[in-house]
Structure 1
Amino acid sequence: MSTPIVICGAGIVGLASALALARRGQRVTLLAPARTVPPASADVYHPRVYAISPASQRFLNEIGVWDAMPAERITPVEAMEIHGDADGRVELNAWQAAQPQLAWIVESGEIERVLLQAVRMFGIAWIQDRAVAYRPGAVQTSAGDWIETELVVAADGASSPLRTAAGIPHTSVPYHDTGLVVHLETERPHQGTAFQWFRDDGVLALLPMPDIAGTHQVSMVWSMREKQAAELQALPADEQTARLERWLLEASQGRLGRLKVRSKLHGFPLTLDQSRMTAPGIALAGDAAHRVHPLAGQGLNLGLGDVEALARVVAERESYRPAGDERVLRRYQRARAESVLAMRVATDGLHKLFRAPQAPLAWLRNVGMRWVDGAPVLKRYLIDGASRN
C-alpha cells in the first residue's frame, strides 16, 4: 500500500493534522487504533481542560471545528490574576490588548469529539492499527504491513513509539513535580477570571468553567512537589477530599471562598521534553516533539501551532517536491523553532525562579511582578505574545 502522507496518532494533534492537511488538498491516511468519545453529560466534565489561545481558536475555526463545539461548554477567559509567593501580583485583562478574550477553557473530550466527527465526515482514510517500525519512505503496522509514503507525521504522544523507531534524539528532564487536576465547586463566581498562585509547594491554577445547576465551577491544575502529591493521592477518598479542600482554601487565600471537590483527582508527572522535530521523511508534532511545564497552559497551543505550520508548508511546497522533501521539513522546523524555544525558556525559567528559596530571588521576583503590574505596555506585550502561540 502507498499513500502520500501517513499521520500516526489519533489524539487532538493527530486528528487536527489529518484534517488540516486534507482541507488543504493533501491526501492523508490516519494510522492509529480506533477512537470513540462518549457523549457529553450535562453535569459531568472531562477531567482535562485546555486554555485555547486566540491563535489556536482561529486555527480550529479555519479547519471547521470550533463552531461545532457546544458554546455552553466553553468558558471565555477575560482576565487573569497571578500571585507571587509574597506580595507580588499581576492582573491581566483582555481589554488591555484590545481583545475580547485572553483564552477559552475547553474540555479535551469536546475537542476530540468534534475532530473525530470532522475526520469521518471528510472521508479521511483510517487504518486502525499501530506503527511499530519506520524507515525513510515507509512505516510498518503491527500487522506486519509496510505503507509506502512520502511523509510520516508522528503525533503519537510524549512517549512516541514512532520517534523511537526512527531513532530521533530526545531528552526528558523531570521536574519532580506532579500535575494534579480536579474540578471544584466555588462559593463565589469566577467572573471569567483565571487565577494562579506561585507557592513554595508548586503552582496552583484555577481555570473558569461553566456553572452547573446554579453552582460555580473551576478546574484546578496544581503542579505540586512529587512527595506531597504522592502522599495526597495515597489517602482514602474522604480524607483526600478533606485535606485537598483545606489546602485549597489556604493556597487560594479565600479568593473564591470555600472550594468543594466535585470530581476524581488525577495526577501525571511533569517533565521538560525536547526532540528534533524532523528527520528524513518524518515530522514530529505536539507532545512527540516537545513538552513544557503547564504553568502557562500552552502545551496544546504549541501542538496546534505545529499542525498549522506543517499543513501550510506542505501545502505550499513546490509541485515537484514530495511532502517529505528535506527542504520542506526544514521549512517546518524553522517555522516552529522560535515559538517552541521561547515557550520552553519562559516556562522553565519561571519554574526555576519561583522554586529558588534564596531571599534575594524571592524579593526580586515579587518586586518584578509589582513592576509588571504597573506597566500597561508590558502587559499588552505579554498578552500579545501568549495569543500568538
Structure 2
Amino acid sequence: MNPPILVCGTGIAGLACALGLSRAGLPVALLGPRHPPALRPADDYHPRVYAISSASQALLDRLGAWRLMDMRRVTPVETMEIHGDAQGTLDLSAWQDARDTLAWIVESGEIERALQQAVQVMGLAWHEDHFLSLNTSPDGVQVTTQQGRQWHTPLLVGADGARSPVRQAAGIQHDYTPYGDMGVVAHLDIGRAHQNYACQWFTGDSVFALLPMPDTANGPQASLVWSMPESQARQWMAMDTDAAQTWFASHAQAITGGRLGALRLRTHPQGFPLTLERSAMTAPGVALVGDAAHRVHPLAGQGLNLGLGDVDTLLQVLSTREAHRPLGDPRLLARYRRRRAEPVIAMGLVTHGLHRLFATPCVPLAWARNQGMLVANQIPFLKRQLIRAAAGN
C-alpha cells in the first residue's frame, strides 16, 4: 500500500482536508493534537463563530459533516445590511439572487465537533503528536515529530495555522502585514429580533458587525465582531465586567443608532490581532491550506471560506490527476497554486482595499464611498454579483 498523505493540523481546514482525501479514496493520516470540543449547554456558545458560504456549506455536506451539526445552533443569514460612515447603505438579500440563504452562522466549536465525529466514523489514522521538521526527497517528504517518530509521505499538507511550522520548515515565502487592529468578539443580548439579518457599520477607524445567533432564554442574541485599533481593544478587554458593559453600551448605541435595540454583553470580549498574510502556498512535496497559506481582514467574513476553498481545490487537483502522476508531483502542486491564486489575491485586494478606503478620513473620499454604496444599492445586477461572489459560486 502506498504511504498516506500526511495532513498536519487538526483544526477545521485540516480535518476537512483529511476527510475529503479519504472520501476520494486516497490514503491519508492526520498529525496533530486531538481536542474534542466540549458539548455546550443550550444557551452557552463558543466565542468564535463563522459565516459559512454556500460553497463551504456544500463542501461540508459532501464530507458528511453538515448533517452531523446541531441545526438548533445554526442560524441562516437572509439579508446583509452594510452601513457606511455617513449616509451610505447597501442591502443584500438572498431573494435578490433567487436564494433562500446568503450564509449560515455556525460556531467554530460546532464545526470542529462535527468534523471530528465524521473523521471517527471514517476511521482515519490520527497521530497525536506535533510536527518538528521535514526533509524532502525525490519521492516525497520525510517528517519528524516532537516525539521522535518519522513518517515518509508523498505529500505533506500544512493546515497548521497562521504561525505554521510546516510553512517555516519548508521555506515557503510568506508576506506578513499587521493592521495595528484587533478583532474583538463577544455574544450579545439584543433588544429586537434580528430576523436573520446581519448588520455591519464602517465607522472610519473600526468595523462593527452583528451576526444573527439562536435565541436564548433571555431573548434574541447576536454575535459581535468588532475590528478596532489595538490600543482601544486592549483597554476595553482589560476592564472589569461592569465597566466593559457600560463602555460598550454607549459606543454601540452611537454606532448602531439602536438598530437592534439595546445591546448588552453576554460574554466578556476576547480579541485577536488582524493581519494581511500571503504565501507561495507550495514547496516540493508540500501544500498549504487555510490560515497557513493566507489570512485576510475579517470585514467580509471570508477567512474560513477562503481556507475551505483551498481544501476543495486541492481535493479536485489530486482526485483528477493523471494515473501516472504521484500525489506529490510538482505539476499537481503548480496546478493547485495557479487555481488558488486568483481567488486568494482577489479576496485580499477586496478586504484590504475596503479597510483602507473607509479608514481614510479625506472628506471628498468619504462622500464618494458613501455615494458609491447608495448607487450600488439601486443596481440589481451589481447586487446579484456581490451575492454570488460572497457565496463562492
Q: Distance in 2 between matches of 1:364 and 1:16?
A: 42
Q: 1:283 aligns with which of 284, 287, 308?
A: 287
Q: Distance in 2 between matches of 1:201 and 1:234?
A: 20
Letter in 1 for 2:297: H
- The answer to whether the 8 A contact 1:3-1:29 is kept is no
1:35, distance to aligned residue in structure 2 (A) = 2.0
> Counterpart in 2 of 1:179?
183
> Counterpart in 2 of 1:20?
20
Q: 1:157 aligns with which of 152, 157, 161?
A: 161
> Residues 49-64 of structure 1: matches in 2 within 5 Å?
49-64=49-64
- The answer to whether the 8 A contact 1:186-1:258 is kept is yes
Q: 2:208 aligns with which of 189, 193, 204?
A: 204
TM-score (structure 1 length as normaliser): 0.98
Q: Distance in 2 between matches of 1:146 and 1:171?
A: 30
> Residues 68-147 of structure 1: matches in 2 within 5 Å?
68-136=68-136, 137-147=141-151
Q: 1:242 aligns with which of 235, 241, 246?
A: 246
Letter in 1 for 2:306: L
> Residues 193-232 of structure 1: matches in 2 within 5 Å?
193-213=197-217, 215-232=219-236
- The answer to whether the 8 A contact 2:2-2:27 is kept is no
Letter in 2 for 1:7: V
- The answer to whether the 8 A contact 2:54-2:391 is kept is yes
1:182, distance to aligned residue in structure 2 (A) = 0.2
Change (3 A) 1:2 1:315: closer
1:2, distance to aligned residue in structure 2 (A) = 7.8
1:360, distance to aligned residue in structure 2 (A) = 1.1
- The answer to whether the 8 A contact 2:3-2:27 is kept is yes
> Counterpart in 2 of 1:188?
192
Deviations along 1:191-214, whole A, 9 cap, x unmatched? 000000000230000000001125
1:4, distance to aligned residue in structure 2 (A) = 2.7
- The answer to whether the 8 A contact 2:161-2:291 is kept is yes
> Counterpart in 1 of 2:325?
321
Q: Distance in 1 between matches of 2:355 and 2:85?
A: 12
User: RMSD value over aligned CA atoms?
Assistant: 1.2
Q: Which has the larger displacement, 23-32 or 334-343? A: 334-343
Letter in 2 for 1:313: V
1:315, distance to aligned residue in structure 2 (A) = 1.2
- The answer to whether the 8 A contact 1:2-1:148 is kept is no
Q: Distance in 2 between matches of 1:331 and 1:201?
A: 39
Letter in 2 for 1:213: A
Q: Distance in 2 between matches of 1:238 and 1:18?
A: 44
Matched, 1:297 2:301: yes
Q: Distance in 1 between matches of 2:101 and 2:72?
A: 16
Matched, 1:384 2:365: no
1:120, distance to aligned residue in structure 2 (A) = 1.1
> Counterpart in 1 of 2:40?
40
Q: Distance in 1 between matches of 2:297 and 2:185?
A: 14
Q: Distance in 2 between matches of 1:201 and 1:302?
A: 25
Q: 2:271 aligns with which of 254, 267, 271?
A: 267
Flag structure 2 segments of 5+ consecutive residues without an equivalent: none
- The answer to whether the 8 A contact 1:2-1:147 is kept is no
Q: Distance in 1 between matches of 2:147 and 2:172?
A: 23
Provide the secondary structure at the position in 2 that maps to 1:207: strand
Provide the secondary structure at the position in 1 that maps to 2:59: helix
Q: Distance in 2 between matches of 1:243 and 1:147?
A: 53
Q: Distance in 2 between matches of 1:345 and 1:135?
A: 34
Q: Distance in 1 between matches of 2:194 and 2:241?
A: 27
TM-score (structure 2 length as normaliser): 0.97
> Counterpart in 2 of 1:352?
356
Q: Distance in 1 between matches of 2:153 and 2:324?
A: 16
- The answer to whether the 8 A contact 2:78-2:100 is kept is yes
Matched, 1:8 2:8: yes
Q: Distance in 2 between matches of 1:243 and 1:323?
A: 54
Deviations along 1:152-200, whole A, 9 cap, x unmatched? 0000000001111111111110111110000001000000000000002
1:234, distance to aligned residue in structure 2 (A) = 2.0
**Percent of paired sites with the same residue:** 54
Q: Distance in 2 between matches of 1:4 and 1:188?
A: 52
1:273, distance to aligned residue in structure 2 (A) = 0.4
1:244, distance to aligned residue in structure 2 (A) = 1.1
Deviations along 1:345-376, whole A, 9 cap, x unmatched? 00000000000011111011001000001111
1:221, distance to aligned residue in structure 2 (A) = 0.2
- The answer to whether the 8 A contact 2:237-2:268 is kept is no
Q: Distance in 1 between matches of 2:216 and 2:125?
A: 39
Flag structure 1 segments of 5+ consecutive residues without an equivalent: none
Provide the secondary structure at the position in 2 that maps to 1:106: strand
Provide the secondary structure at the position in 2 that maps to 1:351: helix
1:129, distance to aligned residue in structure 2 (A) = 0.4
Q: Distance in 2 between matches of 1:122 and 1:52?
A: 24
